[in-house]
């Protein structure tokens, strides 16, 4: 018995030593709250107690509160923690939006009561005043949706709750769709742990409440009606239910002008921050001037945003006052890594004036902007110069392969700081923002000639060694030449039009030949396998080489299986690396080719075919009609008074209006017909299968009627009209030019009759 007591005492002493507080350790949340964010970055050890208010293990999220203080803990524990658990946390401090803890260990002491939830308003939370605390707030549920994930043990739900100050997103750990549907339009009181949505500079852009169970949602006022029993509203009458009451206050900011796109946006930078400001002004502004901007706080939502609050801080409906006092901003010289890999410490540079070096790979002129594709640190990015209004200036031509330094505004595609590397563009202010710092390398024929001469000399020397060695070298040279020919054919296929799967088959075969016939295959990211995958690989040594992309996740992997007698490790590494380079080039080239082809045949604003695509289609229809004695129709559409839309509401609203017009007109056509944008406010439709002119006239009437209902474009209601003319092949013309002229003349006759 005494021996057991002694052993227990020894174990207790070891446990106490393991949890002893090292010098400088913080032991309470009160101590942690006194730290600044910069102090937290010094990795201070902590051991403290607190009560769990929210835990999501598969996302490593833990919120701990003690009295009126709370903190976010990043955990790695597999234990299931429950709200109300009293825990002992051991870890270190870290800098983020606020202080967070990187835990080494979390131990449950006992289960108890939750802290009392603090009643809060939207204004309290949007300023981060109660971050990580257990709070409750009231609002009306406008949306309740399941979020499906293959990585989570259960599916979660997201509620969009309208409060007096704006929308709050509540994340609920439940997959009860039926219960979610009953909450729609209910006035509720939600108890949850306060969090936020942030941009890549760790600036708060929205509010998130982390809710553990349905019991934390109390219905204050139920709609007591089935949403699907509502009366059906005609689609052209839906704006009758639209109401907005915006209490957002106008604010004023100040900074130096670093970017100006007349009629669209201004960027101000100062005090270590930069801000994208949306404005319709087109008055002359000077880059580098100190300026004031006044407008309304808003969030600039991107295509990859997860919610309406997941984006970048911005000012909307803004006015600009230029002081005409120069206060130029010096661009920050950065690397690709600094712009693309953001992390969660607010290290992003979106909308900052930066400069970055890269090598010119592609340059292309577009209808609205010029683009330079550059490569830095092995990764591509794009420098964009948007065409100003007025005469189109010549694009600055930079020799391909040149090393340049571009200066401009960093425009990040994704604001989420936790999503890993993100794509970005550099917005140029003028062509002066492109500086050539190193000319492209010249094709060094002299070195190639010297290399050939050296090889010939080596062959001559080796030829003097006996027949056996000569024969061996001949075989080796033949194998090398065959391999180079195979590599050359692969490169030709990459630059040609061969399918990527066929090219990968050849690459796998080449790598197999380099490895003395070893079994090789390729596994793509979408699950596709190319090559000879062994049926029973367990008895073989499998070597895997990742096929990296220029940006984003890996494209796949190249694998080889080896038996007991395998080539040397160096040769295996070299062969797989060679195959990976060719595979990456093949896949990325096909992606680039597909993108360039799309840009050449589709209008970049409306995403419908452009004039070039329409004329190609007309050539096909004319040839088919000649062979089959068939007919087809051409409809020419010109939007009436479109200039007034741009003059009154701005080019941004005008662009959105053109997009809505394209959507409506496309819906009026059949599957085999084509709608194309010819340019500006002019469109054309090809009606491919018709029996008479009456069929074309019927299609034209459908297109004309789609302008009956007003267009809802942001906060504007626009009434549109169009003048339409038709032409019939071959009655009105035997060529595409004559058909276009006939339809255009018919359209102008209609337009003149309206006047």
Question: Mean pLDDT, to the nearest integer, of 449-464?
Answer: 75
Query: Residue for token digits 């949340």?
Result: 29
Give tens-digit pLDDT for 641-656. 888 888 898 999 999 9
Q: 444: pLDDT confidence band, cut at 50, 70 and 90? A: very low
HEC sequence for 628-664: HCCCEEEEEEEECCHHHHHHHHCHHHHHHHHHHHHHH
Alpha helices in 184-234, H assignment, sequence order: none
Characterize the bridge pairing of strands 69-74 and 100-111.
parallel
Residues 6+ apart with CB under 8 A from 391: none
Q: Rounded to 10 degrees, what is the CA torsion of 474, 476, 481, 484? A: -170
CB half-sphere exposure, 739, CA atoms < 13 A: 24
Question: Mean pLDDT, to the nearest integer, of 612-619?
Answer: 92
Q: What are phi and psi of 490, to 5 degrees?
A: -65, -45
HEC sequence for 6-26: HHHHHHHHHHHHHCCCCCCCE
Question: Mean pLDDT, to the nearest integer, of 560-568?
Answer: 81
Give tens-digit pLDDT for 678-690. 988 999 999 988 8
Q: Is residue 417 over pLDDT 70?
A: no
Q: Is residue 202 over pLDDT 50?
A: yes
Question: Mean pLDDT, to the nearest integer, of 218-231?
Answer: 81
Q: Is residue 537 over pLDDT 70?
A: no
Q: What is the pLDDT of residue 702?
A: 93
- Alpha-carbon torsion 501, 506, 509, 511, what sign? negative
Closest by CA position to 252, among listed 320, 311, 186? 320
Q: The tokens of 603 are what? A: 């209008």
696 burial level (CB within 10 Å; 0-12, 13-18, 19+): buried
Q: What is the pTM of this model?
A: 0.50
Give tens-digit pLDDT for 261-276. 888 899 999 887 899 8
Q: What are phi and psi of 275, to 5 degrees?
A: -140, 130
The answer to whether the CB of 602 falls within 8 A of the CB of 613 is yes
C-alpha distances in angstroms, 201 versus 208, 415, 607? Answer: 18, 9, 32
- The rounded mean pLDDT for the chain is 83
Q: Is residue 209 over pLDDT 80?
A: yes
Chain centroid to Cα 360, Å, comes to: 23
The answer to whether the CB of 72 falls within 8 A of the CB of 65 is no
**Which range has the worst mean pLDDT, 320-334, 525-539, 710-724?**
525-539
C-alpha distances in angstroms, 442 versus 244, 359, 378, 400? Answer: 63, 15, 21, 11
Question: Mean pLDDT, to the nearest integer, of 661-666?
Answer: 92
Q: What is the pLDDT of residue 151?
A: 59
- Alpha-carbon torsion 715, 719, 723, 727, what sign? positive
Angstrom distance (rounded) from CA 342 to CA 200 = 6
Angstrom distance (rounded) from CA 108 to CA 84 = 10
Q: Rounded to 10 degrees, what is the CA torsion of 101, 103, 108, 111? A: 20
The answer to whether the CB of 296 falls within 8 A of the CB of 316 is yes
Phi-psi label, residue 637: left if phi above 0, alpha if psi -120 to 50, beta otherwise: beta
Angstrom distance (rounded) from CA 690 to CA 712 = 33
CB half-sphere exposure, 511, CA atoms < 13 A: 32
Q: Is residue 213 over pLDDT 70?
A: yes
Most confident of 75-79, 122-126, 739-743: 739-743
Q: Rounded to 10 degrees, what is the CA torsion of 173, 177, 179, 182? A: 130
**Domain architecture of the chain: domains with CATH:** 22-111 (2.40.50.200), 118-229 (2.40.50.140), 251-326 (2.40.50.140), 332-438 (2.40.50.550), 448-597 (3.30.450), 611-754 (3.30.70.270)
Q: Is 227 helix (H, G, I), strand (E, B) or coil?
A: helix
Query: Residue for token digits 């089935």?
Result: 226
Q: What is the pLDDT of residue 111?
A: 92
498-530: string of b/e by CB count within 10 Å (b at 16+)? Answer: bebeebbbbbbbbbbbbbeebbbbbbbeeeeeb
Give tens-digit pLDDT for 134-184. 999 999 998 888 776 665 566 788 888 998 888 899 998 887 777 777 888
Task: Report helix, strand and coil shares of the chain as percent, to nearest 5.
Answer: 30, 35, 35
Angstrom distance (rounded) from CA 425 to CA 336 = 11
The answer to whether the CB of 63 falls within 8 A of the CB of 196 is no
Q: Is 570 helix (H, G, I), strand (E, B) or coil?
A: helix
Q: Is residue 548 over pLDDT 90?
A: no
Question: Mean pLDDT, to the nearest integer, of 337-366?
Answer: 80
């Amino acid at each position: 018995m005494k021996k057991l007591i002694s052993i227990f005492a020894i174990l207790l002493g070891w446990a106490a030593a393991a949890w002893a507080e090292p010098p400088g350790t913080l032991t309470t949340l009160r101590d942690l709250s006194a730290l600044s964010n910069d102090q937290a970055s010094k990795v201070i050890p902590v051991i403290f107690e607190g009560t769990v208010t929210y835990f999501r293990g598969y996302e490593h999220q833990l919120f701990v509160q003690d009295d009126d203080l709370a903190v976010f803990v990043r955990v790695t524990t597999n234990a299931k923690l429950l709200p109300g658990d009293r825990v002992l946390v051991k870890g270190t401090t870290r800098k983020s939006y606020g202080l967070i803890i990187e835990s080494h260990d979390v131990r449950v002491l006992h289960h108890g009561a939750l802290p009392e939830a603090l009643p809060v308003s939207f204004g309290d939370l949007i300023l981060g005043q109660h971050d990580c605390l257990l709070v409750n707030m009231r609002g009306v549920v406008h949306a309740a949706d399941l979020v499906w994930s293959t990585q989570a043990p259960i599916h979660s739900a997201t509620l969009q709750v309208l409060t007096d100050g704006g929308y709050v997103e509540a994340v609920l750990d439940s997959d009860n769709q039926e219960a979610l549907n009953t909450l729609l339009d209910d006035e509720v009181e939600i108890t949850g742990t306060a969090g936020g949505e942030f941009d890549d500079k760790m600036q708060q852009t929205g509010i998130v409440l982390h809710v553990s169970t349905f019991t934390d949602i109390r219905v204050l006022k139920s709609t007591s009606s089935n949403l699907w029993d509502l009366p059906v509203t005609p689609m052209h009458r839906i704006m009758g239910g639209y109401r907005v009451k915006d209490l957002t206050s106008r604010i004023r900011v100040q900074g130096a002008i670093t970017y100006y796109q007349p009629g669209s946006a201004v960027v101000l930078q100062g005090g270590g921050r930069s801000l994208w400001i949306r404005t319709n002004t087109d008055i002359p502004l000077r880059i580098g001037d100190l300026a004031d901007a006044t407008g309304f706080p808003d969030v600039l939502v991107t295509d990859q945003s997860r919610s309406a609050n997941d984006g970048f801080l911005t000012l909307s409906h803004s006015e600009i006052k230029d002081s005409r006092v120069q206060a130029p901003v010096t661009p920050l010289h950065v690397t690709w890594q600094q712009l693309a890999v953001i992390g969660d410490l607010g290290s992003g540079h979106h909308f900052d004036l930066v400069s970055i070096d890269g090598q010119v790979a592609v340059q292309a002129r577009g209808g609205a902007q010029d683009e330079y594709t550059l490569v830095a640190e092995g990764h591509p990015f794009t420098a964009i110069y948007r065409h100003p209004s007025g005469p189109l200036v010549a694009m600055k031509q930079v020799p391909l392969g040149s090393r340049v330094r571009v200066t401009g505004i960093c425009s990040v595609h994704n604001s989420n700081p936790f999503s890993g590397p993100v794509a970005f563009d550099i917005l140029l202010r003028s062509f002066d923002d492109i500086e050539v710092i190193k000319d492209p390398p010249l094709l060094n024929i002299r070195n190639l000639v010297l290399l050939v001469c050296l090889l010939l000399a080596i062959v001559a020397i080796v030829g003097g060694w006996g027949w056996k060695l000569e024969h061996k070298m001949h075989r080796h040279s033949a194998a090398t030449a065959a391999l180079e020919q195979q590599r050359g054919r692969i490169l030709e296929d990459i630059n040609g039009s061969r399918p990527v799967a066929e090219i990968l088959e050849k690459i796998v075969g080449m790598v197999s030949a380099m490895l003395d016939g070893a079994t090789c295959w390729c596994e793509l990211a979408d699950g596709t396998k190319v090559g000879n995958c062994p049926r029973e690989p367990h008895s073989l040594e499998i070597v895997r080489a990742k096929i990296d992309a220029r940006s984003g996740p890996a494209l796949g992997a190249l694998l080889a299986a080896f038996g007991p007698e395998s080539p040397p490790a160096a040769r295996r590494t070299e062969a797989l690396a060679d195959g990976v380079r060719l595979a990456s080039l093949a896949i990325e080239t096909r992606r680039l080719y597909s993108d360039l082809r799309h840009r050449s045949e589709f209008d970049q604003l409306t995403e419908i075919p452009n004039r070039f695509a329409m004329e190609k289609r007309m050539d096909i229809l004319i040839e088919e009609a000649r062979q089959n004695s068939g007919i087809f129709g051409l409809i020419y559409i010109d939007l009436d008074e479109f200039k007034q839309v741009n003059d009154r509401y701005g080019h941004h609203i005008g662009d959105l209006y053109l997009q809505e017009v394209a959507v409506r007109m496309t819906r009026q056509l059949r599957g085999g017909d084509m709608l194309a944008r010819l340019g500006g406010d002019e469109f054309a439709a090809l009606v491919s299968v018709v029996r008479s002119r009456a069929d074309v006239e019927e299609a034209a009437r459908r297109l004309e009627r789609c302008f009956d209902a007003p267009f809802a474009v942001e906060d504007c209601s626009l009434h549109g009209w169009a003048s339409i003319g038709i032409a019939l092949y071959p009655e009105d013309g035997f060529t595409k030019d004559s058909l276009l002229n006939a339809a255009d003349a018919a359209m102008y006759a209609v337009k003149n009759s309206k006047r």
